Amino acid sequence: MNKVDNIKTLIDMYVILVYDMGEKRVGKMLKHCRKYLNWIQNSVFEGEITEVKLKELVYEARKIMNEKEDSLIIFKSRNERWLDKEIIGQERMSTDNFL
Amino acid sequence: MNKVDNIKTLIDMYVILVYDMGEKRVGKMLKHCRKYLNWIQNSVFEGEITEVKLKELVYEARKIMNEKEDSLIIFKSRNERWLDKEIIGQERMSTDNFL
């Protein structure tokens, strides 16, 4: 890993993460993703994360998933300001702690 | 509406749309969103859309939703290239037509 790569791993990215999991695995995945990102909807998370932490998240997520049935999609951006967010209906509070 | 606004409505945006709906309404919402965007996961869509078409999508979606229970989140970007997408596990084919 060269110097530039070293620096890259320290810069936060903004990510949106969505999953579609079998019922048996969904609780575990939710708990896992909440360690890294903000939960904004049923199976949707967003937040800032470093490249290294994201790799860790994905590595552990693969262990939870059944890759033949489940799916995990991560949208990554270097900068949140390129995205506007519009919420219609119920907004999940970020202070929501019922799990 | 001035000239600039007029032009803006013709430019495509890239959007990610996610919903969380009561079971009774989910089929109708899926069908509705598929008219405008590509279905990429259970309740996740993406694609290019004009501002006008997106307004239409939201207007009709509100009629389907129970805004006290359901939620619809739309992430908008002027340019898809600001986002990288990583898919782990099952990928839904864009040619998928089973509904």
pLDDT digits (tens, 9 = 90+) for B26-45: 999 999 999 999 999 989 99
- Whether A61 sits inside 8 A of B88 (CB atoms) is yes
Nearest-CA distance B35 → chain A (Å): 19
DSSP H helices in chain A: 3-8, 23-34, 51-64
**pTM for this one?**
0.82
Q: Is the Cβ pair A78, B82 closer than 8 Å?
A: yes
- Judged by CB atoms closer than 8 Å, whether chains meet at B85 and A74 is answered as yes
- The alpha carbon of residue B3 is apart from the nearest alpha carbon of chain A, in Å, by 23
Q: Which two tokens stand for residue B80?
A: 């898809």
pLDDT at B82: 73
- Residue A8: pLDDT over 60: no
Decide if A90 and B77 are in contact by the 8 Å CB cutoff.
no
| Residue B2 or residue A56, greater confidence | A56
Q: How far apart are the first and last CA of chain B?
A: 39
Best B58, B80, B82 residue to mutate vs chain A (most A CBs within 10 Å): B82
Greater confidence (B5 vs A73) lies with: A73
ipTM score assigned to the predicted complex: 0.79
Instruction: Give me the helix-helix angle, B23-34 and B51-64, nearest 10°.
Output: 160
